[in-house]
Amino acid sequence: MKDFAGKIAVITGGGTGMGRELARQLTAEGCSVAMCDVSATNMAVTRSLCEADAPQGVRVTTHIADVSDEDQVRRFAEEAAAALDSDRIHLLFNNAGIGGGGSFVAGDRANWEKTFNVCWGGVYHCTRAFLPLLMNASEGHIINTSSVNGFWASIGPGIPHTAYAAAKFAVKGFTEALMTDLAVNAPHIHCSVVMPGHIGTEIVSNSRKILSGDVSDAITPAAIAAARGRLVAHGLDPDKLTDADVETFLNRQARRFHDDAPMTAAEAATVILDGVRHNTWRILVGADAHELDRMVRADPEHAYEREFFEAYAKVSGWRVGG
């Protein structure tokens, strides 16, 4: 699919980050977009940015949907088809994701399952729901966002990361298996797995909001309470911190993740779309992702040892300890 003009794309997690930038770049090329997110406010901003640069005739629709909920995803698919007045789509970007549920052993089960169900369940539910519309098109492409944590299940020594990593491994494995399935049963549809490194997005703040059950900008008491349990991994004593201290920490953590990233969300979206144009099934995003992929392949037996991470941190700029 060399040209996106006149095509229709569906993007999950379109309110911020890579989802927003994918929508902006696609609509600027003449592609109509239906996006979903849990935040109507964020999607309204994305829609406004898209419409400011889109050629005449391009349509942008927004839909509230939690991709971990299959009924909401089905409704999203029905609403998108009706809003765009089409029985087909050409591109499905399973982009939505959150981080959380770090420890399977000592963590909160609800947070673990919510993280897994958004990051993996969202890909599964959306692919199921939109496959009939992709089948109706003359050509199609499914783009599933995994992560470097889809081939390396760690963010550093001593920091559990099980829910997110397990989900991203599932996304990668599903996409690789889907390649053969599509080649046999729907050869006009291709698929790719996207594995970004550290990209400057709002995933840290968005994850906090979703896991606390409040998608507003406020940091809720529930979010503060949940954060206290994670502060030990950062070398902090939560008992010595006031709620205001924890709130400051959370805001600083989210800001650093966004601002200190070696690649912006817009740059990442460009890499992804170039990968789709070239029908690349394995899209690594960022120099850090390429380097980590090389190192894991070269020495998988030692990939989870502290010395491995320290060596990687030196070349990638990632900080030891998270």
Beta carbons within 8 Å of 139's beta carbon, 6+ residues apart: 1, 90, 188, 189
Q: Are residues 68 and 44 in the same domain?
A: yes
Q: Which residue has the tokens 């008491």?
A: 221
> pLDDT digit string (tens) for 251-262?
776 677 767 778
- Please check whether residue 118 lies inside any domain of the structure: yes
pLDDT higher than threshold 70 for residue 142: yes
Q: Are residues 247 and 127 in the same domain?
A: no
Residues of the domain holding 196: 8-201+264-316
Stronger pLDDT, 252 or 67, i.e. the higher one:
67
Of 260, 275, 301, the position where a domain reaches its end is 260
CATH code (residue 164): 3.40.50.720
> pLDDT digit string (tens) for 164-198?
999 999 999 999 999 999 999 999 999 999 999 99
Q: Are residues 147 and 278 in the same domain?
A: yes
pLDDT higher than threshold 70 for residue 222: no
Q: Are residues 23 and 165 in the same domain?
A: yes
- Please check whether residue 322 lies inside any domain of the structure: no
Q: Are residues 216 and 186 in the same domain?
A: no
DSSP letters spanning 123-144: HHHHHHHHHHHHHTSSSEEEEE
Q: Are residues 130 and 164 in the same domain?
A: yes
Q: How far apart are CA 192 and CA 185, in angstroms?
A: 17
- Please check whether residue 3 lies inside any domain of the structure: no
The structure tokens listed for 157 are 């020594």
Q: Are residues 130 and 243 in the same domain?
A: no
Instruction: Name the domain count of the chain.
Output: 2
Instruction: Assign 166 to helix, strand or coil.
Output: helix
Residue 321's pLDDT is: 43
Q: Are residues 137 and 193 in the same domain?
A: yes
Q: Are residues 16 and 159 in the same domain?
A: yes
CB distance 321 to 253 below 8 Å: no
- Please check whether residue 282 lies inside any domain of the structure: yes
- Please check whether residue 47 lies inside any domain of the structure: yes
- Please check whether residue 1 lies inside any domain of the structure: no
* Alpha-helix runs per DSSP H in the chain: 17-28, 40-53, 70-83, 109-116, 122-135, 162-185, 203-212, 221-228, 243-259, 265-277, 287-298, 306-316
Between CA 217 and CA 86, with CA 125 as vertex, the angle to 5 degrees is 95
pLDDT higher than threshold 60 for residue 320: no
Residue 200's beta-bridge partner residues?
A: 264
Percent of the chain with pLDDT over 90: 74
Q: Are residues 307 and 182 in the same domain?
A: yes
Of 244, 260, 276, the position where a domain reaches its end is 260
Q: Are residues 309 and 269 in the same domain?
A: yes
- For residue 91, CA distances in Å to 76, 122, 126, 151, 173 come to 15, 16, 12, 25, 20
The structure tokens listed for 201 are 């997005």
pLDDT range class, residue 4, cuts 50, 70, 90: very high
- Please check whether residue 183 lies inside any domain of the structure: yes
Percent of the chain with pLDDT over 70: 91
Residue 42's pLDDT is: 96
- Please check whether residue 17 lies inside any domain of the structure: yes
Residue 171's pLDDT is: 98
What's the mean per-residue pLDDT of the chain?
A: 91
pLDDT higher than threshold 60 for residue 136: yes
pLDDT range class, residue 65, cuts 50, 70, 90: very high
Between CA 13 and CA 20, with CA 19 as vertex, the angle to 5 degrees is 115
Q: How far apart are CA 163 and CA 165, in angstroms?
A: 6
Among 9-13, 86-90, 225-229, 307-311, the range scoring the smallest mean pLDDT is 225-229
pLDDT higher than threshold 60 for residue 292: yes
How many residues are there in the chain?
322
CB distance 12 to 92 below 8 Å: no
